[in-house]
Amino acid sequence: MKAYLALGSNLGDRMNYLREAVKRLNQLPGVQVTKQAEIYETDPYGGVEQDNFLNSAVEIETTLAPFSLLESIHQVEASLNRERLIHWGPRTIDIDILLMDGITMDEEVLTIPHKELTKRSFVLMPLKDVYPNEQLLGKSLDEWMNETGNKAEVRNTNESW
């Protein structure tokens, strides 16, 4: 099944952390990265003072169930020195499950579609690069981005993978 993941980094060599995350995702059993979005620089979200983020998104093909995929993603984050010290705080890498084909769930540790997806242009803009469906939850990705009020905070870096 196809799944869509958001990636972000704002500590250290941000670009290298994004590259390493994609490489390590591709090495997971049952996961293959099939598309990579452009790389965007964004202002931090959530009120914690910190450096700007590099954000992107990937499409993957996976045989993993949602909780198994989440566990594997957490292993990739840990291997890249992700520490969960401050909610919405700085991080070497952050990988979130945004969407999984045909799956809707709302559990304490995992919500699909991601519960903040439609509020964040820094997630929607890269998702638009890899997500083939123009509609998401009854609106186009452009409509959702226009409603966020934070679209101007997302800038294409023209970095290459």
Burial class (CB in 10 A: 0-12, 13-18, 19+), 53: buried
Interior CA angle at 29 toward 25 and 99, to 5°?
55
Residue 134 is predicted with a pLDDT of 75
The pair of three-digit structure tokens given for residue 93, joined into one six-digit string: 């890498």
pTM of the predicted protein model = 0.92
Condensed to tens digits (0 to 9), the pLDDT of residues 70-129 reads 999 999 999 998 666 555 557 889 999 999 998 999 999 999 999 989 998 999 999 999
Condensed to tens digits (0 to 9), the pLDDT of residues 25-71 reads 999 999 999 999 999 998 876 666 678 899 999 999 999 999 999 99
Of residues 22 and 135, more confidently modeled: 22
Average pLDDT over residues 10-18: 93
**Enzyme catalytic residues:** 82, 91, 94, 96
Structural domains for the chain: 2-156 (3.30.70.560)
DSSP 10: -
Phi and psi for 38 in degrees, rounded to 5?
A: -60, 170
Counted residue by residue, the chain has a size of 161
